């Protein structure tokens, strides 16, 4: 293989996204062999154990081969796409993989159509002299959402495909040892990733579904219409149809997989469904097991009259200084927790097992547990202790919006110090939450509802909630945990303490 050939074909590799992640699943390809690409253009969407992100290609050229199909789990560093950076420059063949990393005979062939769900091709070794980043540039992950650079999307069904740039002439010894370029897949139905997952869970072939969304996009309603199951029994209650505005994620709601709410048995159907543990579910399970069996958990409870806090919430909604931001009881719970942390700074700490040290944090990265279609995530508000109430409200609103749109980045979920989980949105009185790994405390907030309460010597209906604080007993003893929880409750009972204790 000559140096010219090695320089002509560039392999784009799965970037190292950091934060300890080692693999990602390819959710969607935006390009096919023969498509032209430009530097910075998003070519695929992948899902890590923490978030969905889009990958931009770092050079110009023509797509020569897609190494993995949609649904494949790929190790960091594996080549996922080959690009001809000098198309039309004459003959020659693309670099073949090194013998020691040749495809295993039991694996799916690398030249399989990339659009086949779950299809995958083994990774190939880098070509000699062909850098993964092309000219020394390091690929950068882009948050899940709309990319600034124009993205080449697949043609809609029924639309005439655009004429692709001429791919290299097929010759023996093409990438991965296969002759010719990978065959272009036919245009496949348009649907968002959550809808594709729903269809997969329900066993629905999207090619047989009639789309009703804008521009021929298949919605969740369309998938349910194609099944024999009633919607209320088949759909997990986390998202609305794609054609309608997406709802806000329910804070700390861990979505139940669709198949879990389906009938246990129906004639002619399988009695069990097995779902691979991966992505957010896999990461969450590992984190919770590690936390539960590492940190000795203690949970304490406190029932509080929050009538005055609820009145303050209503007053803030009409305050001109709070215009344009979301006001909710959770906002004042967050502020109450920050005030209590200021009074008891030893709660804001971490246990360093390796160095046998207690690490006191002089900042608060406030985690907010949120349930999204991708699973439970805990992004955090950085340096929450320095924010005014309007700033905290704005940060909380942005956190919810990015989670709802699937744009939460791995960095936003790292470095948390204390977490709030709102189980009250389900009508639950309270719970015993498990610590987020590396944190010392987590506060669960139960439902707020009218209850008989002794107020000024008389039994009256008051707005009442129950708080539950779980903490690491290596760091926080019973006295400290009790005083901290009591202070959170005291602020919510008398919100004027937001001023007098600040």
Active site residues: 473
**Residue 425 φ/ψ, nearest 5 degrees:** -65, -15
- Most distant pair of Cα atoms in the chain: their distance: 93
The first and second tokens of residue 323, run together, are 């215009």
What is the SS3 assignment for 285-351? Answer: HHHHHHHHCCCCEEEEEEEEECHHHHHHHHHHHCCHHHCCCCCCHHHHHHHHHHHHHHHCHHHCEEE
Alpha-carbon gap, residue 34 to 65, rounded angstroms: 8
DSSP 108-122: PPTTS-TTSTT----
Alpha-carbon gap, residue 352 to 302, rounded angstroms: 29
CA distances 85 to 30, 36, 88, 262, 453, Å, are: 18, 10, 10, 50, 74
Long-range contacts made by residues 276-281, C-beta under 8 angstroms, separation at least 24? 278/25, 278/49, 278/73, 279/25, 279/47, 279/48, 279/49, 279/374, 279/375, 280/47, 280/49, 280/50, 280/374, 280/375, 280/376, 280/377, 281/375
């Amino acid at each position: 293989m000559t140096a010219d050939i090695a320089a002509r074909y560039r392999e784009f590799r799965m970037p190292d996204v950091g934060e300890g992640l080692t693999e990602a699943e390819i959710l969607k390809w935006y390009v096919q062999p023969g498509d032209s690409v430009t530097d910075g253009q998003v070519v695929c969407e992948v899902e890590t154990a923490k978030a969905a992100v889009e990958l931009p290609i770092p050079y110009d050229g023509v797509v020569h081969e897609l190494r993995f199909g949609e649904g494949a789990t790929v190790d960091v560093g594996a080549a996922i796409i080959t690009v001809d950076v000098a198309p039309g420059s004459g003959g020659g063949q693309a670099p073949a993989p090194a013998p020691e990393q040749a495809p295993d005979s039991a694996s799916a062939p690398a030249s399989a159509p990339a659009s086949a769900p779950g299809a995958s091709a083994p990774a190939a070794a880098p070509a000699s002299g062909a850098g993964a980043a092309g000219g020394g540039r390091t690929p950068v992950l882009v948050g899940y959402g709309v990319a600034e650079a124009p993205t080449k999307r697949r043609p809609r069904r029924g639309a005439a495909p655009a004429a692709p740039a001429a791919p290299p002439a097929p010759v023996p010894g093409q990438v991965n040892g296969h002759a010719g370029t990978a065959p272009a897949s036919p245009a496949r139905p348009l649907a968002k990733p959550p809808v594709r997952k729903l269809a997969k869970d329900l066993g629905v072939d999207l090619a047989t579904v009639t789309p009703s969304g804008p521009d021929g996009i298949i919605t969740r309603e369309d998938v349910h219409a194609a099944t024999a199951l009633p919607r209320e029994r088949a759909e997990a209650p986390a998202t609305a149809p794609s054609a309608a505005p997406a709802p806000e994620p329910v804070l700390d709601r861990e979505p139940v997989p669709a198949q879990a709410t389906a009938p246990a048995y129906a004639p002619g159907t399988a009695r069990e469904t097995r779902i691979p543990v991966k992505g957010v579910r896999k990461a969450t399970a590992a984190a919770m097991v590690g936390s539960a069996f590492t940190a000795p958990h203690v949970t304490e409870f406190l029932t509080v009259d929050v009538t005055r806090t609820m009145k303050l919430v209503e007053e803030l909604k009409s305050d001109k200084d709070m215009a344009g931001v979301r006001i909710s009881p959770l906002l004042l719970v967050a502020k109450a927790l920050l005030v209590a942390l200021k009074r008891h700074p030893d709660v804001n700490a971490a246990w360093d097992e390796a160095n046998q040290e207690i690490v006191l944090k002089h900042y608060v990265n406030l985690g907010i547990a949120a349930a999204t279609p991708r699973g439970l995530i805990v992004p955090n508000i950085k340096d929450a202790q320095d924010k005014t109430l309007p700033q905290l409200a704005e940060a909380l609103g942005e956190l919810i919006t990015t989670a709802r749109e699937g744009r939460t980045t791995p960095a936003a979920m790292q470095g948390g110090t204390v977490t709030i989980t709102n189980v009250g949105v389900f009508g639950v009185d309270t719970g015993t939450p498990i610590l987020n790994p590396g944190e010392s405390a987590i506060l669960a907030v139960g439902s707020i509802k009218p209850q008989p309460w002794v107020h000024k010597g008389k039994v009256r209906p008051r707005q009442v909630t129950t708080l539950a604080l779980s903490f690491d007993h290596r760091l926080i003893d019973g006295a400290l945990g009790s005083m901290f929880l009591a202070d959170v409750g005291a602020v919510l009972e008398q919100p004027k303490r937001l001023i007098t204790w600040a």
